Amino acid sequence: MTDGAANARTRESRKSQFLVDLAAGAAVDDIYYLRDLRLGKVKTGKPYLALRVSDRTGVMEARVWDGADEMFRRLKPDSFIRVRGRVEDYRQRPQLVILSAGPAEAAGIDQRDFIPGSYRDSEELIGYLRYFLTEVFDPDFSRLLESFFDDEAFVERFRRAPGDARSHHAYLGGLIEHTVSVATLCQHTTLQHPRLNSDLLLTAALLHDVGKVDEFLCDGRIRYSREGRLLGHVLLGQRLVEGRIRSLKDFPRDKELDLIHAMISHHGELEWGAPKRPQSAEALVLHHIDNLDAKVKGFLEVVDGSGEVSWPELQNLFRRPLDEPRAADR
């Protein structure tokens, strides 16, 4: 379940009918997120409305057969709507036939009803994050990290942010989950290769995706903010870190350059969105570990069906059929 499944059991939800539970014949009266809508016409020329609605459990096609013109004027994509209708079978798949719908007040809506969340407990992930802060011994890197993670408002945004919009960790809490995983693997690497600057590498691991707190909007679904579309998280993260460094007294310029380089080169190649390719050992390690964690998580999300494309299809992240992993026989 979501962040975690325990949280869902300890809160009251405004929703009572999730899409995954709706079968043909069900009467529907609940709030959903309207992803898109399109006005069309049947062969007789009568207008109809084609919509897609979603909640945290998935996306469902919907249709309006009566009053389509009026409803098209009332509804806006990327908004919450109150829906009344029924579920029918269409080509062996459930389809929502909407009898009436209108805008729903967003205030009080819990985003966890509409966007999937991390399987891992957020307090546990915060605990791991705090541990890694104690493993950075360089005083300059340490005070930079404290400027971020002693800021309660920032930490709340960081713990809720997704890791991506689609390909990996694309759920609430995905950013901190990915960050903790990358930091863990980086720490193990420094034990195997003690010539690496462990303080630099661990600081870069904890901050490499920090721009994602500004890259995405989570308001019914995960989508890019205007800053995210125009700048991307690499540049946004660079700006955030440089801004914090400017607020600190006498932060060494060489350390700033080493850290910023590792951060902006973590995508590895120019065609993958890196302004520079890795030129330090620490930047190279960060790139490969970031890529490893993202690809493994993306693979598992495809094969377990939590992504939008099923695992055998060629349209998945890897553009090839994937073999589902199985535990070794015991």
pLDDT for the residue numbered 42 = 93
Whether the pLDDT of residue 303 is over 90: the answer is no
- Which of 238-246's residues contact partners 24+ apart within 8 Å by CB, and which partners? 238/211, 238/263, 238/264, 239/211, 240/210, 240/211, 240/213, 240/214, 241/144, 241/207, 241/210, 244/144, 244/147, 244/148, 245/144
How far from 291 is each of 34, 101, 122, CA to CA, in Å?
33, 43, 23
pLDDT band, residue 2 (cuts 50/70/90): very low
Residue 254 DSSP SS3: helix
Query: Bigger pLDDT: 104 or 11?
Result: 104
Q: Where in the chain is the domain with CATH 1.10.3210?
A: 115-303
Specify the CATH number of the domain 115-303: 1.10.3210
pLDDT for the residue numbered 306 = 55
Q: Which CATH number fits domain 15-110: 3.40.50.300, 2.40.50.140, 3.20.20.70, 3.30.300.30?
A: 2.40.50.140
Strands 216-218 and 222-224: antiparallel
Cβ neighbours around 250 below 10 Å, total: 6
d(CA 27, CA 49): 19
d(CA 266, CA 284): 8
Q: Where in the chain is the domain with CATH 2.40.50.140?
A: 15-110
pLDDT for the residue numbered 310 = 45
pLDDT digits (tens, 9 = 90+) for 256-276: 999 999 999 999 888 878 899
pLDDT band, residue 34 (cuts 50/70/90): very high
- The pTM for the full model equals 0.84
Provide mean pLDDT across the span 94-104. 95
For residue 272, the 8-state DSSP code is G
Provide mean pLDDT across the span 193-215. 98
pLDDT digits (tens, 9 = 90+) for 228-240: 999 999 999 999 9
d(CA 220, CA 166): 14
Whether the pLDDT of residue 24 is over 70: the answer is yes
pLDDT for the residue numbered 311 = 43
Query: Bigger pLDDT: 178 or 165?
Result: 178
Looking at 150-154, 166-170, 253-257, which range is the least confident one? 166-170
Provide mean pLDDT across the span 202-209. 98
pLDDT for the residue numbered 6 = 39
Backbone φ, ψ for residue 41 (5° rounding): -135, 140
pLDDT for the residue numbered 108 = 82
For residue 43, the 8-state DSSP code is T
Q: How far apart are the first and last CA of the chain?
A: 28
Query: Bigger pLDDT: 15 or 262?
Result: 262
